[in-house]
Amino acid sequence: MKKTVSLFLAALVFVVCGCSSANSSENANKGKNINPQSDENNANNNGNNMENLTKVLISTSLGDITIALYDETPKHKENFIKLVKEEYYNDVLFHRIIKNFMIQTGDPDSKGAPAGKALGMGGPDYKVPAEFVPSLYHKRGAVAAARMGDNVNPKKESSGSQFYIVDGKKWTKDEMNMISAQMRKQFTAEQIEVYTTVGGDPFLDGDYTVFGEVVSGMDVVDMIAAQPKDGRDRPLTDIKILSTKIVEE
């Protein structure tokens, strides 16, 4: 178990300090499960009433994913809606995928990118201020903003466009205790319950802004995460966002 947690910690360091993003290492880390018994993500819903939230349909080359945007993170919500209405994400690739961890997209430089090209540095010429809300965490299906590493981004501001969806894994209570000790993070009873029964990426809490969650299409997220990839975690066969649209406000 210690080896498993240590490997995930190593992945966290790599993600924050050495790979892609709005400029450099805007990524996520590792983890696995939201509501396995249903494609409709309702894993506690972080206290939100899904019926009252803005929904966005993300149509990909492997299927559709619908996400709900949280009202508790208004700056991220407003920015995402703006980009959707501008059709900013059309033809953007999922440029980084890690099974049982997350899938990342939103780099405009990925449009039409040749095979093997390093991606993850693109985005608009602005960042979004961090909006950390304790009740919004990285359960399976969470949607969060990628960002540059702390060394160049001490305020943990989000990329203007890049985001990731948590694929995640289930953790044991012993593993959660170890993560809490090693990362010096305190988890609520609810978080521990969700991470051990539903799953997610507890390593990322408090470091990346969670601004939404998948409400349908987790099977598509799993499918994307499981695709063959190269050494940079880019899928060998391009997986793209065909279109995005607001389906409910």
pLDDT, one tens digit per residue, over 18-45 is 333 433 333 334 333 222 223 434 444 5
**Model confidence at 248, in pLDDT bands (50, 70, 90)?**
confident
The pLDDT of residue 178 is above 90? yes
For residue 184, give every residue at least 6 positions away whose Cβ sits within 8 Å of its Cβ, in sequence order, or none.
Answer: none
Instruction: Kindly state the average pLDDT of the residues 117-143.
Output: 97
pLDDT, one tens digit per residue, over 48-64 is 578 899 999 999 999 99
Neighbours of 34 (CB within 10 A): 28
Question: What is the pLDDT at residue 249?
Answer: 78
Range of the domain at 176: 2-248
Q: Please tell me the total count of domains within the chain.
A: 1
The pLDDT of residue 86 is above 90? yes
**Model confidence at 216, in pLDDT bands (50, 70, 90)?**
very high
Please report which helix (H) or strand (E) contains residue 145, including its range.
strand 142-147
CATH of the domain at 242: 2.40.100.10
Instruction: Kindly state the average pLDDT of the residues 106-125.
Output: 96
